[in-house]
A = this chain, B = another copy of it.
């Protein structure tokens, strides 16, 4: 019997990333192309199928592909494999992506929210592999979340909104979030929040010179620029990262207290700025709960980086095979 393989897909607003993954969590081959959302859902499904076929070709002889796992940013109807709502992939709203891809490939396709896939990946072969209960956060344009309870991904009442830690309230009446609520974690701790923080400093005249100001004037506005300037000691950059760490600490302190658990794993592109927000995060954890002594609370950095959601999607596909068998 050939070794079982799966195809994993991480579908973002910018890139489609796909990989052929072996049972032990090893990536055998990978492909990447632009999402090009403007082409519409049907065309994207076709291109995704093409990517998958190319990977199957490449991996032939190494094992048999038995399932596809798909991580997508958005609210997912797991039962029917439908993307209900995806702010950054609007063309997919309501589209039965899993079913269509399955038809193209004649394979079972499981679909999961990308932050949840991150959680499953880190739990499988990443920073969470020795943990039982932990909170996952992905810091990117927004803040995604996942809950791993008793080594499994938590799905709550199966409403497709579980783990939305980015929309937890950390400061009632605080900054307006993209979701329409004030004071969400995402409004403090996302890449968007970092950029907005600098934007405000410029418009309020608190940032009037230096490399960060100059970058802003040239239209170089992004979390990466803020990070670089923070490393060089820019006070405004450091301040927005302090605020980010503070808000993460408020959210995690509350969740640790409520859940009686004490581990978090933080990933996503913006988590690369770890050294600028981890100390404020730890101070904030200490300030906002008395249920644990500071040393008992552990915030770990993702160990899978960009591949966390991809590997999580692979894991879900393997679990699907096991269920079918």
By a CB distance below 8 angstroms, the chain B residues around A109 are none
Asked if A179 is an interface residue, CB under 8 A from chain B, the answer is yes
Query: Which residues of B lie under 8 Å from residue A289 when comparing CB positions?
Result: 167, 169, 181
Q: Which of A31-39, A205-213, A259-267 contacts B (4 or more CB under 8 A)?
A: A259-267
Chain A window 282-304, contacts with chain B (Cβ cutoff 8 Å), 1 for yes, 0 for no = 00000111111000000000000
Copies in the complex: 2
In the complex with contacts A157-B262, A261-B156, A171-B168 CB distance below 8 A: no
Q: Is B165's CB under 8 angstroms from A258's CB? A: yes
Give A residues with C-beta under 8 Å from B.
132-133, 145, 147, 149, 154-165, 167-172, 179-181, 183, 250, 253-255, 257-262, 287-292
Cβ of A262: which chain B residues have Cβ within 8 Å of it?
Answer: 157, 159
**CA A156 – CA B260 in complex, angstroms?**
5
Determine the chain B residues whose CB is within 8 A of the CB of A132 once the complex forms: 157
A250-B172, A260-B164 known; A181+B288 contact, CB < 8 A:
yes
- Asked whether, in the complex, the Cβ of B290 is within 8 Å of the Cβ of A180, the reply is yes
Tell me, in angstroms, the Cα distance from A291 to B168 when the chains sit together: 10
Whether B288 and A179, one on each chain, are in contact in the complex, defined by CB atoms closer than 8 angstroms, is no
> Smallest Cβ distance from A248 to chain B, in angstroms?
12
Q: Report which of B163, B171, B180, B255 forms a contact with A260, defined as CB distance below 8 A.
A: B163
Given A171-B172, A254-B169: A259 and B156 interface contact (C-beta under 8 Å): yes
Name the B residues within 8 Å of A258 (CB-CB).
145, 147, 162-165, 168, 255
Q: Are B260 and A181 interface neighbours, CB within 8 A?
A: no
What's the nearest-Cβ distance from chain B to residue A185, in Å?
Answer: 9
A12 to chain B, nearest CB (A): 22
A133 to B259, CA, bound (A): 14
Complex CA–CA separation, A155 to B126 (angstroms):
24
User: Within the complex, what minimum Cβ distance (angstroms) separates A115 from chain B?
Assistant: 12
Residue in B closest to A132 when the chains form the complex, CB atoms: B157
Q: Which residue of B lies closest to A174 (CB)?
A: B172
Distance from A156 Cβ to chain B, minimum over Cβ atoms (Å)? 3
